[in-house]
Structure 1
Amino acid sequence: MSTVRADLRTDLTGFNEDLIEALTLCTSELVANTIEHTRSGGSGGRVLRALFESEPGVLRLVVVDDGARESAPAIPTDRTEQEWLTAERGRGLLMVDMLASRWGAYPVVPFPFCADLGMAVWAEFALGGAQR
């Protein structure tokens, strides 16, 4: 995971430190989820990370997995306040939701019979005055 963070920081050289921190946290979470919940975490597994300006003033992070996700990534919604206080897992996407302007996921190939070919999870961040 340290290589992922270091590569991202290199790609973001010259950007605002707050943006770099938010993107680093979100990237770490999305890559960790990919490794834990998909074939990407297995032998020979791959994770693709892309970063680009999706529209003027908006930086988009995309993390693509190798597939076999049982469902689309989602923030747990069936927890009580007490369960949230004691939960050891499931907060990562909530963090992404709070740090990114918006986020979502889509299948790499949008056909039902190709559902196990991978999922792309994306998050967008407003550049504002943060661009180099």
Structure 2
Amino acid sequence: MEVARQIVTELVANAVEHTDASMVGASITRTGTVSARIVVTDTSRRKPAPGTPSPGDEDGRGLLLVDALAHRWGSELVHGGKRVWAELRADGEQ
């Protein structure tokens, strides 16, 4: 549960901080007995890209963290904005 919470936090923070989105939504859906899918949507058409922060930078690691915690993740443009998603496996495998 903590991994899901961290991923939701990072994806929502990215949507709020790095876009001019007027609306942000989030959902978690169970996708089987061993997995879940987290989806964050916003009204921006700008697709997210992992940063390359320097050791002294205080931010820029959100998507790197999502990449490390999620089984897989990605984004896609949809009508009215974009959807960023991450899939988790309950067995802890990535």
TM-score normalized by structure 2? 0.84
Q: Identity of aligned pairs, percent?
A: 40
Residue 39 (1) aligns with residue 20 (2): yes
1:75-125 Cα shifts (integer Å, max 9, x gaps): 12xx4xxx521122210101101111110000113xxxxxxx311000110
Residue of structure 1 in register with 2:25 after alignment: 48
Q: Which of 72, 75, 91 is the matching residue for 1:105? A: 75
> Which structure: larger Rg?
1
- Distance in 2 of aligned mates of 1:74 and 1:99: 16
Return the structure number with greater strand share.
2
Q: Which of 68, 77, 88 is the matching residue for 1:125? A: 88
Deviation at 1:49, TM superposition (A): 0.8
Q: Which runs of 4+ in 1 moved over 3 A?
A: none
Change (3 A) 1:60 1:126: same
1:17-49 Cα shifts (integer Å, max 9, x gaps): xxx111111111110110112233xxxx22111
Contact 1:39 1:68 (8 Å CA) reproduced: no
SS of 2:54's equivalent in the other structure is helix
- Distance in 2 of aligned mates of 1:56 and 1:118: 30
Matched residue count: 92
SS of 1:123's equivalent in the other structure is strand
| Mapping 1:72-83, distance limit 5 Å | 72-76=47-51, 79=52
Unmatched 5+ residue regions in structure 2?
A: none
